[in-house]
């Protein structure tokens, strides 16, 4: 297949000890690496040292690097990652290891590395990267890596701005001529007004500051909808057919000393087109387990009366005793509802999914959602945290309602993003 001008430039000119591609998502950064990696490996066959691929996890390495390369080169040249985290590639054993935590790559201590490829480098543990520096100790050792930019005070940005032997190529989404223009237009809309536009569209290192859900906070009424049995011409607001709902979920976040117990129920429409906030509540005070159970059962009864059957209830997995209590209470009264602990995907992944849905006009709220609506309007980035993106959680905003909302869709984020 043809390559973009930027991709060809990298293939021909990236000959430093450290070679990076930084920039927008879907900009074509990684595709050239499916051809660079075999080039690097083959040129070092017979030389001392290990070949290593580092990514956030073994799963992301398989998904982002190994599987696409296997489709291009075939299973004889690109094998499977075995139980020892080794993949046979182009005649060499390649160690495939997660770099999110230093403990994951401790086996590389004391080993020389002749070639390393890095996926999603800005998401690594800094300690892993520091260790890697000392392992690339051969005259022919080199590194290739790709990343999406993050905070401008990020440890990797400091390294990229140093006087080390670095080849750095930067990308915007417009550097990929093979993307459908309509897709680019929609992606720009999805990230408009957020820090993700600067990072994932323009490829800039940009600090997260101010309102997280700026588009929502500026005009909450634009996200209001009604669930209806039949579409009417004169209602004047967004209408979503009740028959289009495929799943209803309740999220429960348990409060502490400075927070409240939050209940949020959402609906997903068929094909993961829309996410709709149906109802929310928040309760304060030192509640006994039975009191909390009764409040939740009352909440569920209201939802059932207005919207019909509930499929799942997801509870804050940090509170196992309270979780077991609501599981029993719901099971006794509503045995058809499945009750599970939340999986708690990373907060920033949940934020990114929410902002994407808002930007693409697929996120809505109904009446009786005041607590979660206010929480979305008030949510801000922690301006005191300079090295990473962190949602402010100091009791001044309603994080409980945001968490409970996110528990209801976090298992479906991939489907929402890909739909």
Q: What percent of the chain has pLDDT over 90?
A: 86
What is the dotted CATH code of the domain comprising 214-418? Answer: 3.30.420.280
Question: Which residues does residue 276 pair with via DSSP β-bridges, in sequence order?
Answer: 267, 364
User: pLDDT at residue 259 above 80?
Assistant: no
What is the pLDDT confidence band of residue 210, given thresholds at 50, 70 and 90? very high
User: pLDDT at residue 207 above 80?
Assistant: yes
User: pLDDT at residue 1 above 70?
Assistant: no
Q: CA 210, CA 68: separation in Å to the nearest integer?
A: 38
The per-residue pLDDT for 104 is 66
CA distances from 108 to 61, 93, 124 (A): 17, 14, 15
Q: CA 100, CA 167: separation in Å to the nearest integer?
A: 24
How many angstroms from the chain centroid is the CA of residue 288? 35
Q: CA 61, CA 54: separation in Å to the nearest integer?
A: 7
How many angstroms from the chain centroid is the CA of residue 35? 27
CB contact at 8 A, 100 and 57: yes
CB contact at 8 A, 18 and 165: yes
The per-residue pLDDT for 419 is 82
Q: What percent of the chain has pLDDT over 70?
A: 98
Q: What is the mean pLDDT of residues 280-286?
A: 90
Q: CA 208, CA 151: separation in Å to the nearest integer?
A: 7
Q: CA 269, CA 56: separation in Å to the nearest integer?
A: 32
The per-residue pLDDT for 60 is 92
Nearest residue to 144 (alpha-carbon basis) of 171, 125, 166, 172? 166
Tens digits of residue pLDDT in 104-136: 677 677 789 999 999 999 999 898 999 999 999
Tens digits of residue pLDDT in 351-373: 999 999 999 999 999 999 999 99
The per-residue pLDDT for 109 is 74
- Burial class for 365, CB neighbours closer than 10 Å (0-12, 13-18, 19+): buried
Q: CATH 3.40.50.300 spans which residues of the chain? A: 5-180
How many angstroms from the chain centroid is the CA of residue 146? 17
Q: What is the mean pLDDT of residues 274-283?
A: 97
The per-residue pLDDT for 106 is 72
What is the pLDDT confidence band of residue 236, given thresholds at 50, 70 and 90? confident
Tens digits of residue pLDDT in 371-402: 999 999 999 999 998 888 999 998 899 999 99
Question: 260 CB contacts (<8 Å, ≥6 apart)?
Answer: 282, 283, 284, 398, 400
CB contact at 8 A, 365 and 224: yes
Bigger pLDDT: 331 or 105? 331
The per-residue pLDDT for 34 is 96
What is the dotted CATH code of the domain comprising 5-180? Answer: 3.40.50.300
Q: CA 221, CA 217: separation in Å to the nearest integer?
A: 9
- Kind and range of the H or E element at 7? helix 5-13
Any idea what DSSP says for residue 382? -
CA distances from 74 to 35, 118, 227, 341 (A): 13, 22, 49, 40
The per-residue pLDDT for 255 is 83
Q: CA 320, CA 387: separation in Å to the nearest integer?
A: 32
Dihedral pair phi/psi, residue 324, rounded to 5°: -65, -35
Look-up of token digits 């309102």: 211
Strands 338-341 and 166-171: unpaired
- Computed over every residue of the chain, the mean pLDDT equals 94
Q: What share of the chain is helix, strand, coil (3-state, %, to 5)?
A: 40, 25, 35
């Amino acid at each position: 297949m043809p390559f973009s001008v930027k991709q060809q430039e990298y293939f021909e000119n990236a000959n430093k000890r450290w070679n990076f591609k930084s920039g927008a998502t879907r900009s074509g950064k990684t595709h050239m690496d499916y051809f660079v990696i075999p080039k690097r490996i083959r040129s070092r066959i017979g030389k001392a040292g290990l070949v290593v691929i580092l990514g956030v996890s073994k799963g992301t390495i398989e998904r982002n690097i190994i599987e696409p390369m296997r489709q291009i080169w075939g299973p004889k040249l690109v094998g499977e990652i075995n139980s020892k985290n080794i993949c046979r590639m182009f005649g060499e054993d390649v160690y495939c290891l997660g770099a999110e935590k230093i403990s994951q790559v401790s086996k590389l201590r004391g080993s020389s590395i002749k070639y390393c490829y890095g996926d999603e480098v800005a998401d690594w543990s800094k300690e892993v990267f520091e260790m890697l520096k000392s392992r690339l100790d051969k005259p022919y050792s080199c590194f290739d890596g790709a990343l999406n930019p993050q905070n401008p005070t990020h440890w990797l940005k400091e390294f990229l701005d140093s006087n080390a032997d670095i080849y750095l190529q930067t990308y915007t989404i417009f550097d990929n001529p093979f993307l459908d223009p309509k897709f680019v237009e929609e992606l720009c809309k999805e990230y408009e007004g957020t820090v993700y536009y600067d990072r994932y569209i323009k490829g800039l290192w940009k600090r997260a500051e101010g309102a997280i859900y700026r588009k929502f906070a500026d005009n909450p009424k634009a996200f209001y909808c009604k669930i209806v049995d039949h579409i009417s011409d004169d209602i004047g607001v967004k209408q979503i057919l009740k028959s289009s709902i495929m799943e209803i979920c309740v999220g429960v976040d348990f409060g502490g000393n400075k927070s409240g117990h939050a209940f949020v129920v959402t609906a997903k429409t068929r094909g993961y087109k829309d996410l709709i906030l149906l109802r929310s509540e928040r309760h304060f005070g030192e509640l006994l387990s039975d009191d909390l159970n009764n409040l939740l059962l009352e909440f569920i009864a209201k939802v059932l009366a207005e919207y019909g059957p509930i499929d799942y209830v997801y509870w804050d997995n940090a509170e196992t005793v309270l979780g077991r209590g609501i599981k029993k209470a719901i099971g006794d009264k509503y045995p058809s509802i499945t009750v599970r602990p939340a999986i708690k995907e990373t907060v920033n992944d949940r934020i990114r999914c929410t902002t994407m849905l808002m930007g693409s006009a697929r996120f809505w709220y109904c009446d009786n959602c005041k607590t979660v609506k206010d929480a979305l309007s008030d949510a801000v980035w922690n301006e005191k945290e300079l090295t990473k993106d962190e949602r402010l959680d100091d009791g001044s905003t309603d994080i409980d309602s945001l968490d409970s909302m996110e528990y209801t869709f976090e298992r479906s984020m991939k489907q929402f993003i890909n739909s």
